[in-house]
Amino acid sequence: MNSSWLAELRRLLAIIAISGVIGWIMGYPLLLIVLGLFSLILIWLFQLWRIRTWLEHPDNPPPESYGIWGHIFDQIYSIQRKNREARTLLQSSVDYLEDSFASMHDGVVMVDNNGSIDWCNAAATSMFALQFPMDRGQPLLNLVRMPEFQTYFTAQDFDEPLTIEAPGEDLAILQIQITRFGDGNKLLFFRDVTRMVQMEQMRRDFVANVSHELRTPLTVIKGYLETIIANDRELDPRYKKPLQQMDQQAIRMENLLKDLLWLSRIESVRTVQKTVNVNIAAMLEEIRDELCESHPDTPININIEATQTILGDYRELHSAVSNLAQNAIRYNRDNNPVDISWTQEGGELLLSVQDHGIGIDSIHLPRLTERFYRVDESRSTQTGGTGLGLAIVKHVAVSHRADLRIDTRLGSGSRFTLAFPLQAADI
Ligand code: ADP
């Protein structure tokens, strides 16, 4: 490159020198130098014109040239070639991605920051009767008109997926997951979860039916046991203890069936139906009275600072707090007091149940709310728990859009908090 610059410079000097000498011989040195420079400018302009004409048809090979102009042509050509290669590579990556999305069974739709369709795959077009590429640029909400989807999409809160019935007659159930990317663009995945939902429903129905069917024989067995134990004077003393144990186990089984039925019942109720204002303060007083009667040895303190009521289901919230309070008593030590509070902190309303009991090792926390998960099997069985309490609490929290937080230290006690967003409250 430097050598071509030097050659161009030499050419310039040579023109000035030659035209100067000829001009000096003719008696007009300045005029001839100007004429020489002018002809050089003409040559440069001609080369610029060739560049422009070539760039208008960049697929043509570059024009032949020499010196600095040859270099410029070659460099533009090499930049063009690299750009073309990069574009081909990019296009093949885009094609690859589009092909893989297109072959998916799940519907995929990309929308821009105005909510208009950018791209969608074949599965999405058949799910929502879209026409692609004709519908490119159309607002998605004009074409996918399901009210639940419209509310979900407009609310812009995509932390949890949305499950809805698909349009059409085949009663399919879709799960919609939205992720943001780029400058406000969104990627929407529509998954057919009909089979999963049906299986889940079958499981729930099975548990509910089995629990229901077991109740009647159990009631009969319990009835006979109670009658026999009540008339223990006529009873052979050898049978007294076994019969009492049978009675205890029957009570345990009854509690287990009650919890199983309750859990499958609250699982089948949908979040949107929770529209009753629950007076939490009054509910806590009621729970305290119930617990004082059943566990007179444990002091229950109630601290109510918040005045808000919660939009929700009274029985569900009552059962969640009762379960937490019963656990607090069950895993307590030395009849320490149990503190229940209803407070507001920042943008949240907190319903906490705190004990000063045995606490929980943090390794158990990720699985604690699973059905039948127990930290200490022998202790839980002794204390009469069913293993479903925290599963019920977790479910009630989720269906009320509350967060279940567990702060605990082994040997010092635990605090279970249901944190409701202020929007859940009726202020
Ligand atoms: P359970 O009926 O066995 O109490 P839960 O679902 O209510 O079942 O609780 C699950 C497990 O979590 C319990 O077995 C117990 O080990 C532990 N746990 C629950 N609450 C407390 C608490 N307040 N203090 C210590 N451990 C607790």
Tell me the mean pLDDT in the region 7-33.
Answer: 89
Tell me the mean pLDDT in the region 243-250.
Answer: 91
Q: Is the pLDDT of residue 212 over 80?
A: yes
Q: Is the pLDDT of residue 235 over 90?
A: no
Q: What pLDDT was estimated at residue 318?
A: 96
Residues 415 and 287 reside in one and the same domain? yes
3-state secondary structure of 369: coil
* CATH for 151: 3.30.450.20
Tell me the mean pLDDT in the region 172-190.
Answer: 90
Q: What pLDDT was estimated at residue 159?
A: 86
Please tell me which of 114-128, 136-150, 247-261 the model is most confident about, judged by mean pLDDT: 247-261
Cα–Cα distances (Å) from 50 to 72, 81, 165, in that order, read 12, 19, 64
* CATH for 351: 3.30.565.10
Residue 198 lies inside a defined structural domain of this protein: no
Sheet holding 107-111, edge to edge: 117-120, 107-111, 185-192, 173-181, 162-165
Query: Counting atoms of ligand 1 from 1, which one is nearest the CA of 386?
Result: 2
Q: Is the pLDDT of residue 167 over 80?
A: no
Residues 6+ apart with CB under 8 A from 407: 414, 415, 417
Which of 212 and 384 is assigned the larger pLDDT?
Answer: 212
Q: Is the pLDDT of residue 299 over 60?
A: yes
Tell me the mean pLDDT in the region 27-41.
Answer: 90
- Phi and psi at residue 405, to the nearest 5°: -115, 140
Of 374, 349, 348, residue with least CA distance to 360: 374
Ligand 1 centre from 248 Cα, in Å? 20
Boundary of a domain, candidates 157, 192, 227: 192
If pLDDT is split at 50, 70 and 90, which confidence band does 210 have? Answer: very high
Residues 76 and 18 reside in one and the same domain? yes
Q: Is the pLDDT of residue 402 over 50?
A: yes
Q: Is the pLDDT of residue 269 over 70?
A: no
Ligand 1 centre from 215 Cα, in Å? 25
Q: Is the pLDDT of residue 10 over 50?
A: yes
Please tell me which of 11-20, 161-170, 390-399 the model is most confident about, judged by mean pLDDT: 390-399
- Phi and psi at residue 31, to the nearest 5°: -60, -45
Residues 241 and 154 reside in one and the same domain? no
* CATH for 256: 1.10.287.130
Indicate which residue's Cα is closest to atom 11 of ligand 1: 374
Residue 99 lies inside a defined structural domain of this protein: no
Ligand 1 centre from 353 Cα, in Å? 13
Residue 201 lies inside a defined structural domain of this protein: no
3-state secondary structure of 251: helix
Q: 109 in ligand 1 pocket by Cβ < 6 Å?
A: no
Q: Is the pLDDT of residue 384 over 90?
A: no
Residues 263 and 310 reside in one and the same domain? no
Q: 414 in ligand 1 pocket by Cβ < 6 Å?
A: yes
Q: Which of 263, 331, 369, 370 to mutate to test the pocket of ligand 1 (most atoms within 8 A of CB)?
A: 331
Helix (H) or strand (E) holding 154: helix 147-155
**Across the chain, what does the average pLDDT equal?**
88
If pLDDT is split at 50, 70 and 90, which confidence band does 232 have? Answer: confident
Q: Terminus-to-terminus CA distance in the chain, angstroms?
A: 77
Q: 327 in ligand 1 pocket by Cβ < 6 Å?
A: yes
Ligand 1 centre from 331 Cα, in Å? 7
- Phi and psi at residue 345, to the nearest 5°: -140, 115
Q: 389 in ligand 1 pocket by Cβ < 6 Å?
A: yes
Which DSSP symbol is given to 116? B
Residues 418 and 393 reside in one and the same domain? yes
Boundary of a domain, candidates 126, 157, 192: 192
Tell me the mean pLDDT in the region 246-255.
Answer: 92
Q: Is the pLDDT of residue 350 over 90?
A: yes
CB contact at 8 A, 332 and 359: no
If pLDDT is split at 50, 70 and 90, which confidence band does 1 have? Answer: low
Query: Counting atoms of ligand 1 from 1, which one is nearest the CA of 323?
Result: 7
Residue 423 lies inside a defined structural domain of this protein: yes
What is the full DSSP assignment across 191-232? Answer: EE-HHHHHHHHHHHHHHHHHHHHHHHHHHHHHHHHHHHHHTG
Q: Which of 380, 407, 409 to mutate to test the pocket of ligand 1 (most atoms within 8 A of CB)?
A: 380
Residues 134 and 75 reside in one and the same domain? no
User: What's the total number of domains in the chain?
Assistant: 4
Helix (H) or strand (E) holding 163: strand 162-165
Q: Is the pLDDT of residue 230 over 60?
A: yes
- Phi and psi at residue 162, to the nearest 5°: -105, 135
Indicate which residue's Cα is closest to atom 25 of ligand 1: 359
If pLDDT is split at 50, 70 and 90, which confidence band does 386 have? Answer: confident
Which of 145 and 352 is assigned the larger pLDDT?
Answer: 352
Ligand 1 centre from 314 Cα, in Å? 23
If pLDDT is split at 50, 70 and 90, which confidence band does 293 have? Answer: very high
Residue 98 lies inside a defined structural domain of this protein: no
Radius of gyration of the chain (CA): 40
Q: What pLDDT was estimated at residue 272?
A: 46
Residue 96 lies inside a defined structural domain of this protein: no
Residues 380 and 324 reside in one and the same domain? yes
Residues 125 and 216 reside in one and the same domain? no
Residue 112 lies inside a defined structural domain of this protein: yes
- Orientation of helix 2-26 relative to helix 29-56, angle to 10°: 140
Percent of the chain scoring above 70 in pLDDT: 96
Q: What pLDDT was estimated at residue 171?
A: 79
Query: Counting atoms of ligand 1 from 1, which one is nearest the CA of 375?
Result: 16
Token readout for 260 is 């199983």
Residues 415 and 356 reside in one and the same domain? yes
Indicate which residue's Cα is closest to atom 13 of ligand 1: 374
Q: Is the pLDDT of residue 274 over 70?
A: no
CB contact at 8 A, 266 and 395: yes
Would strands 425-426 and 309-312 be described as parallel, antiparallel, or unpaired? antiparallel
Q: What pLDDT was estimated at residue 279?
A: 94
Q: 387 in ligand 1 pocket by Cβ < 6 Å?
A: yes
If pLDDT is split at 50, 70 and 90, which confidence band does 21 have? Answer: very high
Residues 289 and 226 reside in one and the same domain? no
Boundary of a domain, candidates 68, 91, 114: 91
| Host domain of residue 177 | 104-192
Q: Which of 259, 295, 327 to mutate to test the pocket of ligand 1 (most atoms within 8 A of CB)?
A: 327
Indicate which residue's Cα is closest to atom 4 of ligand 1: 385
Which of 97 and 396 is assigned the larger pLDDT?
Answer: 396
Residues 344 and 421 reside in one and the same domain? yes
CB contact at 8 A, 404 and 397: yes
Tell me the mean pLDDT in the region 121-140.
Answer: 85
Query: Counting atoms of ligand 1 from 1, which one is nearest the CA of 355?
Result: 23
Residue 318 lies inside a defined structural domain of this protein: yes
Q: What pLDDT was estimated at residue 265?
A: 86
Residues 350 and 237 reside in one and the same domain? no
